[in-house]
């Protein structure tokens, strides 16, 4: 809308109309996302789109000549042109440095100018010219039309690149008729370029307004794959998303997990760094430091980055940067004599600026990702045939020529410079810098070649359209005289052809080319120079197992023994340990903690230790599970041997005493002490000694069931015999008195045997009930000691075991009480004293047994029980029978009735 005020000042107001609510929502979401992370390129986009809207068309109607369109502004650009029916534009880095004039705005500002030619950039521009000439001579491709080109220098600066892009889109003719403004072909149908991602973002945003397809040969920012923002952008080089994955493959191969990151302060560097931070974690790697190169080559910032590099423990540094940003840092690396393993991005991995003898001691062994190599027949002859002319539109060749041969075409200008040489235009390029004519390792130039042919094949397909079968509205086709860039974009999306070198060229739905990279390694040569050699390939079009290939035998390193460096924050944790991250540090920095007992880790860098199964335990190194040691009281161990020996010894002593008593059964000492009961007591003691053997050895079902039953019955037989013996002693004493004459009739031999049988039968009944309801069974106990399996006999029923012991204790207590009451009988009946002492020992042993048994783990509970059996058995044997054996064997003169009677008196 235009408004005019009273001073005749015209305003132009633009309105943004949202098509629907969905568009508004999408815009709001985009703004919120951009508010969170806004890069300079986003501001740049806004400016460039606005500028394009205001400046386009650059040709405007003149008030003085209403039937003519007049060019609004003519830029001072370095370029190269060739006429043709269809023009293709090109943007290349011909000069590396730009001088911007001071702006006072009191006079019309001067335009920037560029200097310091880049041979590689000029070679790429000539490769585009060669490809177009080759296409024009090809009868099978665009046979009826000729291609022309308009190539401009971007000077590695966005301001210059944007000026060149506007010149391509709007054209450079100063005046056109009004009909030409509205009809005919646009100045260019497609653009080859730009090489810088930031430039491509800005230019493709403007070119997209006019639907001009743009095929870049070197812009790799993954952000350019966004079809919503850049619908007409294509490229013959893979995006940074793939480049990052390729670098991750290298890091993973050499197990470099602690890596420094340096990137340029532009869209290329920032997006690549963002992808690298994300992808490096997929294989457990970490970024040791992340530094951004300054735009203005500030030496203070450069030295700050160098200080970070020197202080970091990382030996490997990944660099995403163009050569112009990186050059000051590498100069400082050489000055400070810093040696690291460098991983180069494709933007500088093959740059001759760093392949110099000066950088050899510091950059030798560098590994780099580089774009696909190709071969172009006839290119070298074309490069050597280039000659300058006087056409002002072809000043690119003249400037290149002057710098190549250090001469000037203007004699007055030649006098002003030190060399003072005048260019003739006939100098021999074959004797100049060989880097210009070297076509043995074409990489960016090969991408330019493919980009030109992609546009040419698309144009060929467009012009081969059959009327009525076209892809456009009404099945129409485009014609040579009125075709538009957006129509070429349609065919470019589906282009598919093969180059003479055998590579297939096509684009996916995001405009990206097939993902394939070569791997470079910088070798030191005998003459002191440095050369980049191909040592591998990363090709994502191959099966997973063949994506990465590296010829390690041809690698060169800059470290001792010509071996790759180690770059880890922490050494790998060996099997038997686990990783424990250090607080405040990345996950690659960790401590190795030994696995706990019963846990193992059998892999390197295990995150957690795994618990062994129940019947297994960790080895000493904690790297495997081994069967737990099964522990039980064995006959082979010293304790088992000792207890077995004591048990057998006790049984033998009992047998010897029994034999002595049997042999001397008619002597007064034996007869006076109830020989039958004595024989029964000795027999039961022998069984008690022998039942201790059932507690030794590996538990089995029958031994578990028999051990407690045999122990309980044997001791009841023994104690009940002692109890009856005590009662007989008391009965005999009472029978010796008038009031107790009938006492002995109740304690005859039959009554004694019956009492013992009844008392023992009760214990047998207890055992039968216990074994039939909750029988003791072998049990592998893992609770006493985690590292061992305690093989024991589970009692089955604690109540049954307690009843068995309680019954024995009850009989022992009664015996002790009766014997204690009869302790003062005359000496000829002193049996009561020995019984009292024996019962005292027996009760003391078994009272102490209960807490000791409960608190003893594993096999030691069996040891306590055996000790109680042996101790109480020896106590009974010694206390009751030792005095009698002493008289029988050592003092037979006392073993007479007279001696016993006299003692009694």
Percent with pLDDT over 90 in the chain: 28
Q: Given this model, what pLDDT does residue 479 score?
A: 82
pLDDT surpasses 90 at 277 = yes
Percent with pLDDT over 70 in the chain: 86
pLDDT surpasses 90 at 332 = yes
Mean pLDDT of 684-706: 88
pLDDT surpasses 50 at 16 = no
pLDDT surpasses 50 at 37 = no
Q: Give, rounded to a whole angstrom, the gap between the first and last alpha carbons of the chain.
A: 151
The Cα-based distances of 75 to 69, 173, 212, 389 in angstroms read 17, 12, 20, 21
Q: How far apart are CA 512 and CA 239, in angstroms?
A: 7
pLDDT surpasses 70 at 813 = yes
Chain-centroid distance, C-alpha 569: 14
The residues, any chain, with a CB within 8 Å of residue 881's CB and separated by 6 or more, are: 657, 661, 678, 682
How long, in residues, is the chain?
905
Helices (H), 56-155: 119-136
pLDDT surpasses 90 at 307 = yes
The residues, any chain, with a CB within 8 Å of residue 319's CB and separated by 6 or more, are: 261, 262, 263, 326, 342, 343, 344, 345, 348
Q: Given this model, what pLDDT does residue 40 score?
A: 47
pLDDT band for position 211 (cuts 50, 70, 90): confident
Mean pLDDT of 680-684: 89
pLDDT digits (tens, 9 = 90+) for 170-203: 776 665 555 555 556 778 899 998 888 888 898 8
Q: How far apart are CA 833 and CA 828, in angstroms?
A: 11
Mean pLDDT of 495-507: 88
Mean pLDDT of 555-564: 89
The Cα-based distances of 259 to 173, 267, 286, 586, 663 in angstroms read 53, 21, 6, 12, 96
Window from 164-173, 305-314, 454-463 with minimum mean pLDDT: 164-173
Mean pLDDT of 543-564: 88
Helix (H) or strand (E) holding 310: helix 299-311
Q: How far apart are CA 306 and CA 349, in angstroms?
A: 20
Contact present, 625 and 613 (Cβ < 8 Å):
yes
Q: Given this model, what pLDDT does residue 576 score?
A: 93
Contact present, 170 and 207 (Cβ < 8 Å):
no
pLDDT band for position 51 (cuts 50, 70, 90): very low
pLDDT surpasses 60 at 439 = yes
Q: Given this model, what pLDDT does residue 905 score?
A: 41
pTM value is 0.61
Q: How far apart are CA 492 and CA 514, in angstroms?
A: 15
Q: Given this model, what pLDDT does residue 673 score?
A: 67
Q: How far apart are CA 696 and CA 516, in angstroms?
A: 75
pLDDT band for position 329 (cuts 50, 70, 90): very high
pLDDT surpasses 50 at 29 = no
Mean pLDDT of 835-847: 85
Q: Given this model, what pLDDT does residue 45 score?
A: 47
CA dihedral 569, 573, 577, 582 (to 10 degrees): 10
Q: Given this model, what pLDDT does residue 743 score?
A: 53
| Cis preceding linkage at 57, omega within 30 | yes
pLDDT band for position 63 (cuts 50, 70, 90): very low
> Which of 571, 626, 568, 570 has the alpha carbon at shortest distance from 597?
626
pLDDT surpasses 50 at 320 = yes
Mean pLDDT of 412-433: 77
> Which of 246, 306, 250 has the alpha carbon at shortest distance from 275?
246
pLDDT surpasses 50 at 10 = no
Helix (H) or strand (E) holding 578: strand 577-581
The Cα-based distances of 428 to 179, 266, 418 in angstroms read 47, 39, 22
> Which of 644, 640, 691, 639 has the alpha carbon at shortest distance from 804?
691
Mean pLDDT of 807-812: 89
Q: Given this model, what pLDDT does residue 833 score?
A: 78
Mean pLDDT of 334-338: 93
The residues, any chain, with a CB within 8 Å of residue 26's CB and separated by 6 or more, are: none
Please report the beta strands in 72-130, taking only residues with DSSP state E, as ranges in sequence order: 79-82, 86-92, 95-99, 113-117
The residues, any chain, with a CB within 8 Å of residue 308's CB and separated by 6 or more, are: 260, 289, 291
B/e letters for 139-155, b = 16+ CB within 10 Å, e = fewer, are eebbeeeebebbbbbbb
Q: How far apart are CA 455 and CA 478, in angstroms?
A: 15
pLDDT band for position 68 (cuts 50, 70, 90): low
Which range has the top average pLDDT, 106-120, 642-656, 733-747? 642-656
Contact present, 406 and 104 (Cβ < 8 Å):
no
pLDDT digits (tens, 9 = 90+) for 235-275: 998 888 888 989 999 999 999 999 999 999 988 889 899 99
- What is the full DSSP assignment across 516-576? EEEEEEEEE-TTS-EEEEEEEEEETTS-GGGSEEE-GGG---SSGGG-PPP--SSPPPPTT
The residues, any chain, with a CB within 8 Å of residue 122's CB and separated by 6 or more, are: 92, 94, 396, 400, 436
pLDDT surpasses 80 at 59 = no
> Which of 361, 325, 318 has the alpha carbon at shortest distance from 341?
318
Q: How far apart are CA 834 and CA 822, in angstroms?
A: 11
pLDDT band for position 58 (cuts 50, 70, 90): very low
Q: Given this model, what pLDDT does residue 183 score?
A: 55
Contact present, 272 and 240 (Cβ < 8 Å):
yes
Q: How far apart are CA 647 and CA 641, in angstroms?
A: 10
Partners of 91 in the β-ladder: 152
pLDDT surpasses 80 at 901 = no
Count of beta carbons in the 10 Å neighbourhood of residue 243: 26
Q: Given this model, what pLDDT does residue 7 score?
A: 38
pLDDT surpasses 80 at 671 = no
CA dihedral 10, 14, 15, 17 (to 10 degrees): 150
Helix (H) or strand (E) holding 368: strand 367-371
Q: Given this model, what pLDDT does residue 824 score?
A: 66
CA angle (759, 763, 766) in 5-degree steps = 140
pLDDT surpasses 70 at 2 = no
Q: Given this model, what pLDDT does residue 137 score?
A: 93
Q: Where on the phi/psi map is residue 140: left (φ > 0), alpha (ψ -120 to 50), or beta?
A: alpha
Q: How far apart are CA 176 and CA 184, in angstroms?
A: 12
The alpha carbon dihedral of 774, 776, 780, 784 has a sign of positive
Window from 36-45, 132-141, 573-582, 804-813 with minimum mean pLDDT: 36-45
Contact present, 870 and 839 (Cβ < 8 Å):
no
Diameter over CA atoms, the chain: 171
pLDDT digits (tens, 9 = 90+) for 461-478: 999 888 888 888 888 888
pLDDT band for position 904 (cuts 50, 70, 90): very low
CA dihedral 339, 344, 348, 353 (to 10 degrees): 20
pLDDT digits (tens, 9 = 90+) for 612-670: 998 899 999 999 999 988 888 888 888 889 999 999 999 999 999 889 888 888 888 77
The 3-state DSSP class for residue 268 equals helix
pLDDT digits (tens, 9 = 90+) for 593-624: 999 998 999 998 898 999 999 889 999 999 99
Residue 729, CA atoms < 13 Å, CB-side half-sphere: 30
Chain-centroid distance, C-alpha 385: 55
Specify the pairing of strand 95-99 against strand 113-117: antiparallel
> What is the C-alpha R_g of the chain?
53
B/e letters for 655-670, b = 16+ CB within 10 Å, e = fewer, are eebbebbeebeebbbb
């Amino acid at each position: 809308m235009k408004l005019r005020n009273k001073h005749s000042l015209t305003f132009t107001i633009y309105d943004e109309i949202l098509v629907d609510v969905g568009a508004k929502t999408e815009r709001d979401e985009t703004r919120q996302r951009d508010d969170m992370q806004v890069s300079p390129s986003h501001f740049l986009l806004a400016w460039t789109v606005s500028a394009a809207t205001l400046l386009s068309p650059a040709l405007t109607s003149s008030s003085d000549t209403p039937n003519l369109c007049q060019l609004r502004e003519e830029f001072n650009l370095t370029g190269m042109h060739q006429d043709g029916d269809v023009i293709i534009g090109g943007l290349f880095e011909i000069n590396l440095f730009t001088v911007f004039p001071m702006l006072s705005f009191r006079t019309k500002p001067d335009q920037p100018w560029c200097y310091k030619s880049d041979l590689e950039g000029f070679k790429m521009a000539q490769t585009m010219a060669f490809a177009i000439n080759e296409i024009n001579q090809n009868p099978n491709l665009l046979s009826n039309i000729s291609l022309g080109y308009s190539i401009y220098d971007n000077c590695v600066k966005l301001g210059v690149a944007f000026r060149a892009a506007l010149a391509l889109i709007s054209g450079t003719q100063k005046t056109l008729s009004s009909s030409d403004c509205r009809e005919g072909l646009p100045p260019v149908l497609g653009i080859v370029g730009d090489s810088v991602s930031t430039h491509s973002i800005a230019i493709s945003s403007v070119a997209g307004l006019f639907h001009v397809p743009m095929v870049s040969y070197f812009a790799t920012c993954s952000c350019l794959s966004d079809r919503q923002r850049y619908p007409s952008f294509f490229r013959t080089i893979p995006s940074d998303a793939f480049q990052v994955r390729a670098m991750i493959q290298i890091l993973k191969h050499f197990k470099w997990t602690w890596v420094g990151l340096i990137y340029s302060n532009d869209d290329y560097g920032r997006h690549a760094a963002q992808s690298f931070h994300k992808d490096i974690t997929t294989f457990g790697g970490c970024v040791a430091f992340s530094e951004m190169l300054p735009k203005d080559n500030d030496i203070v910032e450069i030295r700050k980055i160098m200080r970070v590099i020197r202080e970091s423990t990382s030996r490997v540094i990944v660099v995403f940067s163009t050569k112009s940003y990186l050059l000051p840092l590498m100069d400082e690396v050489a000055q400070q004599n810093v040696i690291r393993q460098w991983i180069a991005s494709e933007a500088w991995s093959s740059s001759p600026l760093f392949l110099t003898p000066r950088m050899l001691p510091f950059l030798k062994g560098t590994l780099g990702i580089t774009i696909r190599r190709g071969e172009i027949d006839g290119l070298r002859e074309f490069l050597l045939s280039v000659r300058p002319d006087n056409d002002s539109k072809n000043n690119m060749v003249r400037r290149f020529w002057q710098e190549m041969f250090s001469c000037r075409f203007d004699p007055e200008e030649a006098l002003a410079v030190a060399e003072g040489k005048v260019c003739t235009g006939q100098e021999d390029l074959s004797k100049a810098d060989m880097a210009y004519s070297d076509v043995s390792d074409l990489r960016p130039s090969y991408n330019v070649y493919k980009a030109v042919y992609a546009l040419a094949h698309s144009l060929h397909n467009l012009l081969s359209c059959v009327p009525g079968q076209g892809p456009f509205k009404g099945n129409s086709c485009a014609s040579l005289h009125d075709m538009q860039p957006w129509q070429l974009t349609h065919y470019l999306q589906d282009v598919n052809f093969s180059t003479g070198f055998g590579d297939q060229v096509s684009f996916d739905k995001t405009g990206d080319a097939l993902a394939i990279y070569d791997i470079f390694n910088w070798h030191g040569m005998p003459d002191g120079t440095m050369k980049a050699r191909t040592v591998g390939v990363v090709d994502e079009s191959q099966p997973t197992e063949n994506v990465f290939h590296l010829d390690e035998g041809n690698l060169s390193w800059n470290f001792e023994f010509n071996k790759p460096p180690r770059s880890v924050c922490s050494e790998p944790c060996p099997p038997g340990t686990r990783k424990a991250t250090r607080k405040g540090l990345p996950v690659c920095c960790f401590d190795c903690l030994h696995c706990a007992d019963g846990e193992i880790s059998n892999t390197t860098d295990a995150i957690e230790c795994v618990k062994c199964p129940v019947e297994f335990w960790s080895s000493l190194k904690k790297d495997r599970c081994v069967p737990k040691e099964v522990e039980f009281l064995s006959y082979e161990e010293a304790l088992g041997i000792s207890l077995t020996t004591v048990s057998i010894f006790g049984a033998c002593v009992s047998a010897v005493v029994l034999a002595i008593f049997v042999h001397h059964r008619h002597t007064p000492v034996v007869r006076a002490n109830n020989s039958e009961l004595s024989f029964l007591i000795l027999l039961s003691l022998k069984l008690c000694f022998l039942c201790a053997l059932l507690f030794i050895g590996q538990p089995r079902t029958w031994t578990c069931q028999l051990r407690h039953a045999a122990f309980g019955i044997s001791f009841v037989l023994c104690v009940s015999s002692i109890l009856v013996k005590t009662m007989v002693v008391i009965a005999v004493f009472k029978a010796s008195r008038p009031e107790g004459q009938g006492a002995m009739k109740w304690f005859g031999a039959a009554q004694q045997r019956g009492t013992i049988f009844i008392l023992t039968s009760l214990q047998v009944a207890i055992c039968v009930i216990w074994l039939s309801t909750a029988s003791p069974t072998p049990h592998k106990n893992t609770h006493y000691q985690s590292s061992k399996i305690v093989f024991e006999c589970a009692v089955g029923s604690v109540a049954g075991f307690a009843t068995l012991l309680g019954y024995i204790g009850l009989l022992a207590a009664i015996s002790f009480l009766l014997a204690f009451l009869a302790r003062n009988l005359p000496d000829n009946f002193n049996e009561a004293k020995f019984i009292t002492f024996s019962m005292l020992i027996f009760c003391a042993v078994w009272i102490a047994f209960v807490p000791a048994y409960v608190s003893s783990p594993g096999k030691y509970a069996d040891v306590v029980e055996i000790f109680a059996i042996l101790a109480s058995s020896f106590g009974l044997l010694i206390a009751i029978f030792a005095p009698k054996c002493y008289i029988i064997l050592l003092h037979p003169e006392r073993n007479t009735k007279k001696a016993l009677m006299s003692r009694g008196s």
